[in-house]
Structure 1
Amino acid sequence: MKRASSLVILAILAGLGMGLTYWAQRSSAPHITGEQRLIDSRNLLDLLPPDSYDNQPLEQPLTLENITLTNSTLLGGYRATKADKPYAVLLRCQTLGYAGAIELLIAIDSNGRLVGVKTLKQSETPGLGARIADWPNAWLQMFSGKSRAEPGDNGWALKKDQGQFDQIAGATITSRAVINATHDALRYFDEHRQPLLGNPSHE
């Protein structure tokens, strides 16, 4: 009898334990999701000046997925607006570096000028190409303010390739890949400016 009672008590306690665990997971899930969204927001949106937009760009993804460009692939994008007017488009793209895929986030303002470029993922050689992952990044900052017209299509290359950009020391392939992907993004923006900027109030 005592054994049966003990088994019943153990079963009740186990049930309570599972119930409490389930409740704790359910109640903390929104908090965890919110924290992850905040981390993603900081990671993706710190390319933009804080006062340049007032929407939630990550909640307005653009319908871009696996669009093959000359030197890269577009994986997605977002639109940043202020007072319902487009400020910038953020394009996520992937290109092939020296050691593997490089994923970049490229922010282009409504006039077609680069706001900034940031590395999201990479597997380049430590101490060489992997320096593109540093943030802030002096080498990537040299693209800010540039556009497809300035320096022009022919200028979007390394100086050793008759272009206008220096390379990361010891990382020619990585540097070339990033420059080509950035140029791809600018060309894509220039050719699809209207649908990318859109009109959020009518979507």
Structure 2
Amino acid sequence: MLEMMRKNGLILALFALGCTALVAFTHSLTRHTIVAQEQAQLLLVLNDLLPPDSHDEPLFDHCMLVSNEHYLGSRDPLPAFTAVKNGEVRGHAIEAIAPDGYSGAIKLVVGVNADGRLSGVRVLAHNETPGLGDKIELKKSPWVLAFDGMQLQGEEDPRWAVRRDGGQFDAFTGATITPRAVVKAVRQVLLMLEQEPGLLSRSPRCGDTL
């Protein structure tokens, strides 16, 4: 009996080891594909928020890693891309995190023109409830287009909230937490540009950290 138990235990251990190795091998094969897909998605978003006619220099040549958890919602530095044309800044596309989504963090890109008006907002990743909170995705709902052309007029601007909280942004039926988190995150990015105007220029370039 003891010998049989040892044999079964060895078989289970080998099986577990094999499964672990298989998962690790599969991850190593797909990791580069996932990264490539994420970069392709980011490039599409950047072209939406900072279209080609807004810059004559590659956006990735003007990528800075910004560290500011208070404004960007992340302890880790996040990239900010600047559109430069004829030597002048035409706008920015800044990644940010809404840490208080209903099902966790929501990753965004916030596009801001040089005059402080939003060129748009796009969601890169989230875990919100399908059919409810996922309406923050442009392919699921036009809700996110409500940010286009908006501007923050001071820290006390009352418009920057969902209607239930006295603001002007619609909430989703049964899913107020999600849009509330996104509105707050976008507002924080605009507030950062208003209150920390030199932060992007003081931040390290993306390539310098590699």
Q: TM-score, normalised by structure 2?
A: 0.69
CA contact (8 A) 2:55 2:85 kept: yes
Could you say what secondary structure the match of 2:82 adopts? Answer: strand
Find the partner of 2:90 among 80, 83, 87: 87
The aligned counterpart of 1:115 is 119
Which sits farther off after the overlay, 151-160 or 120-129? 151-160
What letter is aligned with 2:94?
A: L
The aligned counterpart of 1:59 is 61
CA contact (8 A) 1:71 1:180 kept: no
Q: Structure 1 residues 136 and 78, CA, compared in 2 at 3 Å: closer, same or farther? A: farther
Distance in 2, Cα, partners of 1:36 & 1:143: 23
Unaligned runs of 5+ in 1: 1-32, 199-203
The aligned counterpart of 2:23 is none
Q: Structure 1 residues 147 and 70, CA, compared in 2 at 3 Å: closer, same or farther? A: same
The aligned counterpart of 1:101 is 105
Distance in 2, Cα, partners of 1:114 & 1:59: 22
Distance in 2, Cα, partners of 1:70 & 1:128: 26
Could you say what secondary structure the match of 1:196 adopts? Answer: helix
What letter is aligned with 1:111?
A: D
The aligned counterpart of 1:189 is 193
Higher radius of gyration, 1 or 2:
1
Could you say what secondary structure the match of 1:170 adopts? Answer: coil
Could you say what secondary structure the match of 2:49 adopts? Answer: coil
CA contact (8 A) 2:95 2:108 kept: yes
CA contact (8 A) 2:72 2:96 kept: no
Unaligned runs of 5+ in 2: 1-34, 203-210
